[in-house]
Chains A and B, each alone.
Chain A
Amino acid sequence: MDKFLQDLKYGIRMLAKSPGFTAIAILTLALGIGANTAIFSVVNAELLRPLPFRDATRLVSVASTNSRTHAAAASLSYPDFLDLRAQNQVFENMAAYTDGSFTLTGIDQPAHIVGSSVTASLFDVLGVTPELGRTFLPDEDQPHRHSVILSHELWTSRFASDPHVIGRSIQLDKSAYTVVGVMPASFRYPLQRQTSTLWTTMAPLLESSDGVPSLGEQRGAHFLRSIARLKPGVTVPQAQAALDVITTSLAKQYPDTDKYWGAQVVAEQDRMTRTIRPALFVMMIAVGFVLLIACVNVANLLLARATARTREIAIRAALGAGRNRLIKQLLTESFVLALIAGGIGLLLAMWGSEILVRLSPEQLPRISEIHVDGWVMAFTLSLAMLTGFLFGLAPAMHVSHSSIVDALKEGALSVTASKERFGLRSSLVVVEMVLALVLLVSAGLLIRSLVRLQQVSPGFDPQNVMAASIDLPDAKYPDANKAEFYRNLLPKLQALPGVQSAAAIYPLPMGGDEIRTTFQLEGRPVSKSEEPVTSLRDITPNYFSTMRIPLLQGRDFDARDDAKSTPVVIINEALAQQTFPGENPIGKHIKPGISVGPGEAAMREIIGVVGNVKFSDLASEWLPESYVPVAQLPFGSMTLVVRSTQDAHAVVKMMTETVQSMDPDMPAYAPKTVAEYLEGTLSVPRFNTVLLALFAGLAMLLTAVGLYGVISYSVAQRTHEIGIRMALGAKPQDMMRLIVGQGMKLGLIGVGIGFAVAIALTHFLSSMLFGVSSTDPVSFAGVICLLMVVVLVACYVPARRAMRVDPMIALRHE
């Protein structure tokens, strides 16, 4: 113990004596440890840690597929869900849910609430119990039973944690719901960034008005996500096989809707992380590279120091220090180094994971569960320590008691040993360069993809357009009155100062929602299951001018197009080309299979053709699309879009006030500019790009430090030689060439190997690239040039030192 303390004291002093070495070694390790721990904390929360439910590995998602449109992971219809649930033998229980938005009135200000409509079975599937009251009873799924369960958060914020809230009646969308339970604070479902704060049953979705089948009664209406709990011992493939049998028989039973339909079983955790997993995987590899480079750098530093310390170690050996004792002392020093680095690394990791959370895109669902993980920390720290130990021991390796005399001699290291060590250090630098090049090329590819993506025109002008949503509750606004509300509201919005034009749409481009429906072509009947598909948007007049979507043919909707006039539709270019190639679509008729209110869907006359618009994200293909006037297809939930002459944010307040002047119980919620929505779709690629660029930059910096270290060490070693050469008439430029040449040789070897490795590895990035190939010559050439410049700079500084060697001093020096 006493000896350990002595070693510790001496170790700390040694580190303090060479602050440059210590600072670089510690910082290098800390960065490696910090970055790894931060990324792995995210990976751990997202991919590795089981979902926060009982026996979460048995939870699976059931989605629908379509073999004709190649759609996957799509929603289910309620009748299909009920059949799957009733007929399967593989699930303990099965639930369905859909996001909903509710307007809560009767308490303070009217509030827009994000909630879910769920089957009563959901809580049983998840295996959760409420904090207060109970969860839903099976028969609460029946129409006209309006029950609601509150989240802990909503209960505390809106109901002042009222212990008697159970049994209380609250107003949602102007109808009465009975509170039956409150969930604990830890419960979140669905596990997404903006999660539900209340849950109602399916009942409201099963209530038809005017005798028309409700949403929940239509087998063709796909709007539900589903989660199920596997029976113990049943595997995902077994469940899949079982559902395949059921869907095959349903397809025969209901060919109109289910002919191409199938069900897909995926582990729930896999489904949730599908979009983010490839990126996280790439990040893991990238930070792994960074850690490797950091370790290589530290190894290099320690090797350089080993040479300088050979004399010290030899003296200690001569004074009676045994090999074990020497090793212990060196280990203590490495230990101190790794410990300090680990401490700083931990701070960096905590700070880094916070930044990651802040930067993280919507698609990262469980960010509240992200925290620095002790195991990762321990792992990276031990890796760093191992590096320290391994290379920190180098000085002891070259000194044994039988060769102290040699070790004590002036040059300390024999020429061969020092050459050997220089060779080792050079190869380490080459390894660093290879890793850095792979990272830099990957970052380059992502940056070029992002630029390409940002250059893609969305088909509309997103600048200066504010969007905010409103819900017209059916109870207060029957379908006949909805269009009128918009007809009155929009001119008021348009009259606001600074506002150019205003309109409403559902679903908003880039907003995340989509309605797809099949349509019939007049005069070209096909069987129902073969009908083509279109995306459908419900809009008010002036939508196209507000969004600056070009009207290519025909006319926009206007006041003429009301509930009583000819049903009309405007299609986009993609639909025109797909369905009417070489023909003029104006005046033709199609019947999109969607209706509100009594009666069948209407055959609509095409009155215009507009430009294509990217609806889900910039990377997606153009989709065939049809626009229908809200007057002929009244929707309660719409998004208002307002184009203003200056900053779009300036109109938010006026928008809300205008809406509330028409109905004080109606909030205009989720205000966000269309540009922000567009940005949102770029958040995953941007997140990936920023992170990878960061890691690549870090790798490059560390590599430069490593190369600089090796070259400047070799200059120091060769001072004597350089002195002699200069005394014999060599010019400073010759020395510069000698040293830079040495570095460039290493650089070229590193770049050469790195090029080959990068070519072999970058295709793993393919799924993250847009508009560039994984062997994009521009990225490769750019990165190689960049790296060579870095090599040049890293060599130049020590080379200048070599140029300035004074032959007299250098020769006396020995």
Chain B
Amino acid sequence: MIRLIDVEKFYESGAGKTWVLRRINLEIREGDFITVMGPSGAGKSTLMGIIGMLDGAWKGEYHLFDNAVHKLDNRRRVELHKKYIGFVFQQYHLLDNLTVAENLDLPLSYRDIKKVEREGMVADILDRFQIVGKKSLFPNQLSGGQQQIVAVARAVIGRPKLILADEPTGSLHSSQGKMIMDLLRKLNSEGTTIIQVTHNNEWAAYGNRIIQLADGWIVDGQNTVGTVAAASQ
């Protein structure tokens, strides 16, 4: 589904270049549940941004299904993003001025979907995430965990084939974190490919494959869940 070949990214800094990602080679199959781990500053968020096509300034090859993303212009990338990807941000990034239902409707409103249909989809997702009662509340009327649930729901609503979740449980209490993770696992079992970033070994174990990043390099991308769990003990 996704193939990255020698993807690199750097920032210009004063004298020279600061490398953030170095020669990333990665193959992701449909149905994978991948966990990206690594110390702070390793380049995890940067990698997610590139895969999610929220960042265009990098080198290398990126194939998504049959599309050579590195050759596409901005508009085509937006199209691809809309078609395949749902993104859950570390900091939720809900719009403060919109209600829960309106936040959920937002990605749909940017796709060519009829209003009635959209209303149905929003009602459906509210139901699935058990937040029907919150639909007319504004984000600042929700707890952090509830906000993250809405953020996940918003990533899912467009029925993306790939969900990118950057520390979706970052600031959550463990029981709320578990709820989010269970949700992701359920989506994965229904066929959605998932890439998550986490520092938490317990959540890492939800995936079937772990990629370790350090200083922009993939240091270990082939380990099974079991060995990582063992190594960390």
What is A's interface to B at a CB cutoff of 8 Å? 2-3, 6, 10, 13-14, 17, 311-312, 315-316, 318-322, 325, 400-406, 408
Contact = CB atoms under 8 A, between A and B. Distances in A.
Query: Which of A17, A402, A403 lies at the interface centre, i.e. has the most chain B CB atoms within 10 A of its CB?
Result: A402
A318 B154 contact: no
A320 B78 contact: yes
Nearest to A5: B115
Given A320-B107, A402-B74, A17 B57 contact: no
Contacts of B93: 311, 315, 318, 408
Nearest to A13: B97
Contacts of B54: 318, 401, 404-405, 408
B110 A322 contact: yes
Interface string B110-129: 11000100000000000000
A417 to B, nearest CB: 16
Contacts of A404: 49, 54-55
A408 B89 contact: yes
Contact of A320 (B94, B95, B97, B110): B110
B171 interface: no
B189 to A, nearest CB: 25
A147 to B, nearest CB: 76
Interface string B95-116: 1011000000011011100010
11 contacts: A10-B98, A14-B97, A17-B97, A315-B94, A318-B87, A319-B154, A322-B78, A401-B56, A402-B57, A402-B74, A403-B57
B36 to A, nearest CB: 15
Interface residues of B, number: 31
A403 B154 contact: no
Interface in B53-107: 53-57, 74-75, 77-78, 81-82, 87, 89, 91, 93-95, 97-98, 106-107
A400 B74 contact: yes
Contacts of B94: 315
Interface centre among B46, B82, B106 (most CB of A within 10 A): B106
A10 B55 CA distance: 27
B49 A322 contact: no
Interface string B40-59: 00000110010011111100
Nearest to A312: B95
Contacts of A321: 110
Contact of B55 (A3, A311, A325, A402): A402
Interface string B184-221: 00000000000000000000000000000000000000
Given A402-B74, A403-B55, A403-B56, A319 B97 contact: no
B95 A402 contact: no
Main secondary structure of the interface of A (DSSP, over half): helix
B55 A319 contact: no
Contacts of B158: 320
B45 A405 contact: yes
Contacts of B74: 400-402
A308 to B, nearest CB: 11
Contacts of B107: 319-320
A478 to B, nearest CB: 89
Interface of B: 45-46, 49, 52-57, 74-75, 77-78, 81-82, 87, 89, 91, 93-95, 97-98, 106-107, 109-111, 115, 154, 158
Contacts, number: 69
A279 to B, nearest CB: 48
Contacts of A400: 56, 74
Nearest to A18: B97
A405 B46 contact: yes
Contacts of B53: 401
B192 to A, nearest CB: 17
Nearest to A322: B78
Given A3-B109, A320-B78, A322-B75, A315 B95 contact: yes
Contacts of B95: 312, 315-316
Q: Lowest 8 A-B CB distances belong to which pairs?
A: A402-B56, A405-B49, A320-B82, A404-B54, A320-B110, A405-B55, A319-B107, A315-B93
B78 A316 contact: no
B55 A320 contact: no
Given A316-B106, A318-B54, A322-B110, 9 more contacts: A311-B93, A315-B93, A318-B87, A320-B110, A322-B78, A401-B53, A403-B56, A405-B55, A408-B91
A404 B107 CA distance: 15
A408 B49 CA distance: 11
B78 A401 contact: yes
Nearest to B53: A401
Contacts of A312: 95, 97
A3 B154 CA distance: 19
Nearest to A402: B56
A321 B78 CA distance: 8
A393 B97 CA distance: 19
A9 to B, nearest CB: 9
Contacts of A322: 75, 78, 110
Contacts of B154: 319
Nearest to A407: B54
A13 B102 CA distance: 13
A403 B55 CA distance: 5
Contacts of B82: 320
A408 B55 CA distance: 11
A14 B97 CA distance: 7
A6 B119 CA distance: 13
B57 A10 contact: no
B63 to A, nearest CB: 18
A320 B81 contact: yes
Contacts of A10: 97-98
A321 to B, nearest CB: 5
A272 B45 CA distance: 75
B106 A319 contact: yes
A807 to B, nearest CB: 25
A325 B108 CA distance: 13
Contacts of B75: 322
Given A401-B53, A405-B46, A320 B111 contact: yes
A218 to B, nearest CB: 83
B125 to A, nearest CB: 14
B94 to A, nearest CB: 8
Contacts of B89: 318, 408
Nearest to B102: A10
A17 B94 CA distance: 16
Contacts of B77: 401-402
A240 B108 CA distance: 75
Contacts of A319: 87, 106-107, 110, 154
Contacts of B57: 402-403
Nearest to B91: A408
Q: Which of A312, A319, A403 has the most CB of B within 10 A?
A: A319
Nearest to A400: B74
Contacts of A405: 45-46, 49, 54-55
